């Protein structure tokens, strides 16, 4: 069988082999989902969504970046979600769905056409569930999954294939746990998504050094990690991310926070509401992030820091000191953005300066 090519009906956005599809939907329903205004026939039907360059007359697209304004002028899309400043650039035959937040509108419209697959209640015959576990009748437990004693699985949860829900773990309503996830020592709120391969609740990196081991050499003694992981409502945990349980306190992931793939969260770390931590970033033990803080890719934070609300840490930054509320820092060691680029400019001028005649 020849693989479908990108942009074709069977291989483009929303390939039906992988993504559920709903519709067609009338324009009025689409506009309502996007929180957009439209001056056109609300009964016209649309079959799906697609990017500007691939969309056809029965599909909805969007524009959120002025750099792609030329693509808007050339699009064949039947409707486009667009900011008021760009609405006039929609070509003839393309209906402008006007909203101040086009990307947010696009997210909602794409979810309208491609909703999450429904939970299929029941426990797969190959799953193992301890008699002492509590599983809501509306939950789905996938093939090979393991639910240990005392665990509680809430209404409409989905536990994917070969996932392990450890003893005493609680999943709130509508949680979605991906394949091969392991969760121990953790309490999850409602609508938490944990993607494939994530590890939550394992022991943190805590040890004491005994200078006099049995062979006369220093040795490391593990410190019991006696805390939990608490994950707030609507958090999203990326694939292969690890979140250590607390040592003497709890590790906390605030409501609405988003952790990308391959993120490491150390013991006792506390994230506020709606924090964002991007791929391969690492946060050492007992560091606290204020609400809406952002940690970019591959940044590293040492332990016991305080990162203020709405602070932003640049990619590959090495953060070794507290960051004030609303401050942006970059570099290693991290420093305020303006200071960093001032130093870069000075170094560039020094490097480009030519020696004076007669000097070496």
User: Active-site residue among 83, 114, 195, 267?
Assistant: 267
Please report the pLDDT score of residue 9 as a whole number: 43
Helices (H), the chain: 27-34, 69-74, 102-113, 337-352
* Mean pLDDT confidence for 221-250: 96
* Mean pLDDT confidence for 114-137: 97
- For all residues of the chain together, what is the average pLDDT? 92
Please say if the pLDDT value at position 25 is more than 80: yes
* Mean pLDDT confidence for 284-308: 98
Determine how many CB atoms are found less than 10 A away from the CB of residue 118. 10
Q: What digits encode the pLDDT tens for the residues 63-113? A: 998 888 889 999 999 999 999 999 999 999 999 999 999 999 999 999 999
CATH topology assigned to domain 25-113:
3.40.1390
Please report the pLDDT score of residue 10 as a whole number: 37
Share of the chain above pLDDT 70, in %: 95
Please report the pLDDT score of residue 356 as a whole number: 61
Please report the pLDDT score of residue 344 as a whole number: 83
Please report the pLDDT score of residue 253 as a whole number: 98
Nearest to 191 by CA among 204, 181, 177: 177
In sequence order, the 6+-apart residues with CB closer than 8 A to the CB of 341 are none
Please say if the pLDDT value at position 6 is more than 50: no
Banded model confidence at residue 217, pLDDT cuts 50, 70, 90: confident
- d(CA 38, CA 41) in angstroms, rounded, equals 9
Please report the pLDDT score of residue 351 as a whole number: 84
Q: What digits encode the pLDDT tens for the residues 338-350? A: 888 888 888 888 8
Nearest to 148 by CA among 175, 170, 121: 170
Q: What digits encode the pLDDT tens for the residues 136-188? A: 999 999 999 999 999 999 999 999 999 999 999 999 999 999 999 999 999 99
Please report the pLDDT score of residue 242 as a whole number: 98
Banded model confidence at residue 295, pLDDT cuts 50, 70, 90: very high
267 is catalytic: yes
Q: pTM of the entire structure? A: 0.90
So where are the chain's domains?
25-113, 181-339
Please say if the pLDDT value at position 11 is more than 50: no
- d(CA 224, CA 203) in angstroms, rounded, equals 8
Please report the pLDDT score of residue 180 as a whole number: 98
CATH architecture of structural domain 181-339: 3 Solenoid (2.160)
Please say if the pLDDT value at position 5 is more than 70: no
Please report the pLDDT score of residue 360 as a whole number: 53
């Amino acid at each position: 069988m020849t693989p479908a090519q990108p942009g074709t009906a069977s291989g483009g956005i929303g390939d039906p082999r992988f993504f559920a599809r709903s519709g067609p939907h009338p324009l009025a329903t689409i506009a309502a989902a996007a929180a957009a205004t439209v001056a056109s026939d609300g009964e016209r039907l649309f079959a799906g969504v697609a990017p500007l360059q691939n969309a056809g007359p029965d599909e909805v697209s969007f524009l959120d970046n002025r750099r792609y304004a030329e693509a808007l002028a050339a699009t064949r899309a039947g409707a486009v979600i667009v900011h008021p400043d760009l609405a006039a650039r929609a070509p003839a035959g393309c209906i402008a769905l006007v909203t101040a937040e086009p990307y947010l509108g696009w997210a909602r419209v794409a979810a309208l056409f491609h909703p999450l697959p429904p939970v299929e209640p029941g426990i797969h015959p190959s799953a193992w569930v301890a008699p002492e576990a509590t599983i809501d009748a509306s939950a789905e437990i996938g093939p090979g999954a393991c639910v240990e004693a005392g665990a509680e699985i809430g209404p409409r949860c989905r536990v994917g294939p070969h996932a392990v829900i450890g003893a005493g773990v609680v999943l709130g309503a509508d949680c979605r746990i991906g394949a091969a996830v392991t969760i121990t020592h953790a309490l999850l709120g409602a609508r938490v998504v944990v993607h494939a391969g994530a590890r939550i609740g394992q022991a943190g990196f805590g040890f004491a050094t005994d200078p006099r081991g049995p062979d006369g050499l220093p040795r490391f003694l593990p410190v019991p990690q006696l805390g939990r992981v608490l994950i707030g409502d609507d958090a999203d945990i990326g694939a292969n991310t690890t979140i250590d349980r607390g040592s003497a306190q709890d590790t906390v992931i605030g409501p609405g926070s988003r952790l990308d793939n391959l993120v490491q969260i150390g013991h006792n770390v506390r994230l506020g509401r709606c924090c964002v931590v991007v791929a391969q970033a690492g946060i050492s033990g007992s560091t606290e992030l204020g609400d809406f803080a952002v940690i970019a890719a591959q940044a590293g934070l040492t332990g016991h820091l305080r990162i203020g609300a709405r602070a932003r840490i640049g990619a590959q930054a090495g953060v070794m000191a507290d960051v004030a509320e609303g401050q942006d820092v970059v570099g290693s060691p991290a420093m305020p953005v303006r200071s960093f680029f001032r130093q870069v400019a000075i170094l560039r001028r020094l490097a480009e300066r030519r020696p004076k005649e007669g000097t070496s």
